[in-house]
Every structure is written in structure tokens, then in C-alpha cells.
Amino acid sequence: MQDRVVIVTGGSRGIGRATALAAAARGYRVCIGYASNQAAADEVVAKIADSGGRAMAVQCDVGFETDIVGLFEAADGFGRLGALVNNAGIVGPTARVDEMSAERIQRMMAVNVTGSMLCAREAVKRMSTRHGGEGGVIVNLSSVAAKLGSPNTYVDYAASKGAIDSFTIGLGHEVAGEGIRVAAIRPGLIDTEIHASGGEPDRAHRLAHNVPMQRVGTAEEIANAVVWLISDEASYVTSAILDVSGGR
């Protein structure tokens, strides 16, 4: 497995970046997708190369099927696919449902839900023994929001992560006999730039007192769980959803 390629969508920053670095440190070849921040993606690739690892970056907005197909085709030239980390995800500005536009909700679902499903489709085509593959792992990034619902903040985001939880269970059962394990992680409040993109850079720290462990989590703490799920140490884990949230 260690010589296999791991694709990490949204691997240029935050949890995806930490996951790419952690996977490379364990010997995987890493192919990261990024939406627009090429400089950040290049920095991740260079950091992995400096440590003796192998990585590549491909521009891929998971809101577009053509970008997704291009990402997987580029990765095909890099080696045999062993794992997909469906990490790319967006939030919207704080709003009630009665203030949300159709465009906002459609983009949320296109990126967080359809994008993850289409990436999984491409991964299954390559990894399933049904299609001549040798098996593999799919890890989906859900959120504790799927359980909390995120009222008065971003119910659309929470609902998109609820869809990811259902998708994880169903796809896991669908491909369990074909060498593919599927799992999801529900992060809690993690210190990344996603909160700034939602309009409140300090959100995680503001809410930290609500976390039973009384602190925010780091991207590396999520990445550690992802690389464990990818590894053979998690060989009997599928259709499973793991909270990595300090108890939140």
C-alpha cells in the first residue's frame, strides 16, 4: 500500500495540507487537488519533495465534473491509486435558511456532496476488484455539524455533511466485497482558514469553551486519524464515522 498514490482534494491548505504531509511522511505518493491557490499547493509539493517524498498538484474545483476527471487522469500517470481523501469543502457566510439564495445552496451541495460522490466514483472505478483494481480506501471529511445542524449559522453546510455521513455508510456497504473500505471523520472545531472564509476568522476559538476538552483541534490531529483509516491498521473499519472533536 505504501507505494500507492493517495489523492487529497483540497490538499493545499488546512486539514487537506496536513493530511498530504502526514501521508507523504508514511511513504505514500500524494496527489493534491486545489481550487485556486496554486502557491499554497506548490508549497505543499515542495515541502514533501524536500523531505524525500513524492507529490504532485492539480488544479481541481470539485464543483466541476470535468476538473474531477482531470484530477484522476493526472494521478493515473503517477502510480496506482490506493486511497482517496474527500477533503475539499466549503462553508457559507452565517445566515438563516430564510436568507439563503438558491445559488448558495446549490454551490454548497455541488462542492461538498456531488463533488465527493463524483471523486468516489472515479476512485471506485480504479480501486474496485470488480473493475480489475486491487482495493483501496476512501475517507470522507464530514463534520460534527451533521449532528448539531448548525442553526442560525449554516444549516446548508450541516445538511451537506449529513449527506456525507449517509453516503459513507451506503458506499461502504456497496463496495465492501470489492476490496474498498469507506469511512468518514467528523471534525469538531479545527483551527484552519475555513472559518475566515465563512466571515468569522475567530469562530473556532470563540466557541472553544463549548468543547468538552476546552480547546480547538489542529489540522494535524485530523490528519492523524485520516492516515490511520487509510492504513492496514484499520483493516476491519468500513462504513464507519469517527468523531475527532474533543468530545463536541
* Sequence-separated (6 or more) residues with CB below 8 Å from residue 9: 16, 32, 33, 60, 62, 71, 84, 85, 86, 87, 88, 115, 119
Report the nearest approach of ligand NAP to the CB of residue 16 (Å): 5
Give the distance, in angstroms, between the CA of residue 46 and the centroid of all CA atoms in the same chain.
Answer: 21
User: What is the size of the binding site for ligand NAP (CB under 6 A)?
Assistant: 32
CA distance 144 to 244: 9
* 105 to 134: interface string for ligand NAP, x by CB under 6 A: ------x-----------------------
Q: Alpha helix locations (H) across the chain?
A: 14-25, 38-50, 65-76, 102-109, 115-127, 145-148, 155-175, 194-197, 203-206, 219-230
Shorter beta-carbon distance to ligand NAP: residue 36 or 210: 36
Q: In residues, how long is the chain?
A: 248
Binding ligand NAP (rule: CB under 6 A), the pick from 5, 45, 48, 63 is 63
Residues 208-247 that bind ligand NAP (CB under 6 A): none
Shorter beta-carbon distance to ligand NAP: residue 128 or 183: 183
Contact yes or no for 157/92 (Cβ under 8 A): yes
- Looking at the chain, the number of H-run helices and the number of E-run strands are 10, 7
Stretch that binds ligand NAP, among 33-41, 71-79, 93-101, 235-243 (CB under 6 A): 33-41
Report the nearest approach of ligand NAP to the CB of residue 171 (Å): 17
Stretch that binds ligand NAP, among 47-55, 82-90, 93-101, 148-156 (CB under 6 A): 82-90
Burial 43-71 (b: 16+ CB within 10 A, else e): ebbeebeeeebbbbbbbbbbbeeebbeeb
- Residue 168 makes contact with ligand NAP by CB under 6 A: no
- Residue 9 makes contact with ligand NAP by CB under 6 A: yes
- Closest by CA position to 58, among listed 104, 23, 16: 16
Report the nearest approach of ligand NAP to the CB of residue 85 (Å): 9
- Residue 189 makes contact with ligand NAP by CB under 6 A: yes
Report the nearest approach of ligand NAP to the CB of residue 75 (Å): 14
Report the nearest approach of ligand NAP to the CB of residue 108 (Å): 10
Binding site for ligand NAP (CB under 6 A): 9-10, 12-16, 33-37, 40, 60-63, 87-90, 111, 141, 143, 187, 189-190, 192-194, 197, 204
